[in-house]
Structure 1
């Protein structure tokens, strides 16, 4: 396994993709968006603690959740169903193309896998021409 992922890797991966900016959405939540500017669409959001996502053992609201967009509901389900990954979903996200992951559990996957999941999220929200150019250049 490559190096385990860390919360710092999230910022590095997001900022390493073209035309990404850290803005806000859902009121005041830090959100990575593509493209930069007013037309930016969020692809990764730092979710505030909420009663819809609680630790089943303690009942405490998770305070370190990331919401990562997925290209399709099938892609979401694959991530959620894979017991080797920390990705999950909650009823509040039924029918929504996104997975949740606790920052404290990112080390259960490696940087390469986190990069792939975030890049897929970016590509699903970025303008198609930008995605084509990125993958053609890469």
Structure 2
């Protein structure tokens, strides 16, 4: 995706992908809100991906065929979570679309429109 910058958040070595200074994908450190329900161990491979709307978020997390989830910490936040260890449950096409949509919802209107026109896509 064009105009993307990548930086390391707080020295953790975990990348944050941004467009126009706005994050659209980032890799979290282990946090108390995302954990294994059987062991209580915090997931250390959670990826946060922005979505366009609450409706899109609900559609992704309610579809049991994909690995997306959320936690109460992200209630009202336009993003979904996915464990890196589960990303292989998505096809390359599915992952591409989710990342493109994340970029589109965070890019400026001009950048998003230009990209969509260049790829002959509609939003």
TM over 0.5: yes
- TM-score, with length taken from structure 2: 0.91
Where relative contact order (Cα < 8 A, 6+ residues apart) is larger, the structure is 1
Aligned residues: 117
Q: SS in structure 2 opposite 1:116?
A: helix
Cα RMSD of the aligned pairs, angstroms, is 1.1
Alignment correspondent of 1:134: 115
Unaligned runs of 5+ in 1: 1-16
- Aligned mate of 1:32, from 12, 17, 20: 17
Residues 54-76 of structure 1, C-alpha deviation per residue, up to 9 Å, x if partnerless? Answer: 11111100010100001001100
Alignment correspondent of 2:105: 124
Alignment correspondent of 2:89: 108
Alignment correspondent of 1:7: none
**TM-fit CA distance, 1:24:** 4.1
Alignment correspondent of 1:62: 43
**Runs of 4+ in structure 1 over 6 Å off:** none
Residues 29-78 of structure 1, C-alpha deviation per residue, up to 9 Å, x if partnerless? Answer: 5210002xxxx100001011011111111110001010000100110010
